[in-house]
Amino acid sequence: MPWDMKQYPSAFKQLEAPIKKKAIEIGNAMLDDGYKEHDAIPIAISQAKSWYEDTPKKDIEQFYKHGQMKPSKNREKQSSPTLNERNQLVKERTDGWAVQAEGAQKPSHVYKTKKEAVQRAKEIAKNKGTDVKVQ
């Protein structure tokens, strides 16, 4: 059953409304593409949070007020191709090793060790079909 703002996975419950709406949109597209629900949920949440961090506030407001969520099967993908096409970067910081999408202003994760960061970056990149770059 397609998700909407009234019926969605419990993992979306604590998300801010615009992030939730984007996660629903991404998740529905993934389900249409044949992903299993338990695989689509964490990816949709991660991508929606990245979208929220990387998108200007006025565009977020516009999406939340007027963005289309099309929960029907066989529709065009609604997720932004830029979210899916960005390589994952692993960067050293003073507080550890950061994992972030290429071009993102903030990391999605920070780890104590380079090994942990590279492992997580590889997981994300595998899910998105992108590469990992270690700086």
Segment 107-130, tens digit of pLDDT: 888 999 999 999 988 988 887 778
- CA angle 85–7–14, rounded 5-degree value: 70
97 and 113 in contact (C-beta within 8 Å)? yes
110 and 101 in contact (C-beta within 8 Å)? no
| Model pTM above 0.85 | no
Segment 44-75, tens digit of pLDDT: 999 999 999 988 888 888 888 876 554 434 33
> How far apart are alpha carbons 20 and 41 in whole angstroms?
11
> How far apart are alpha carbons 108 and 47 in whole angstroms?
10
Asked if residue 79 has pLDDT above 90, the reply is no
**How many CB atoms sit inside 10 A of residue 20's CB?**
20
- All structural domains of the chain with their residue ranges: 10-72, 84-134
Q: How confident is the model at residue 12 (pLDDT cuts 50, 70, 90)?
A: very high
Please give the structure tokens belonging to residue 3.
């998700």
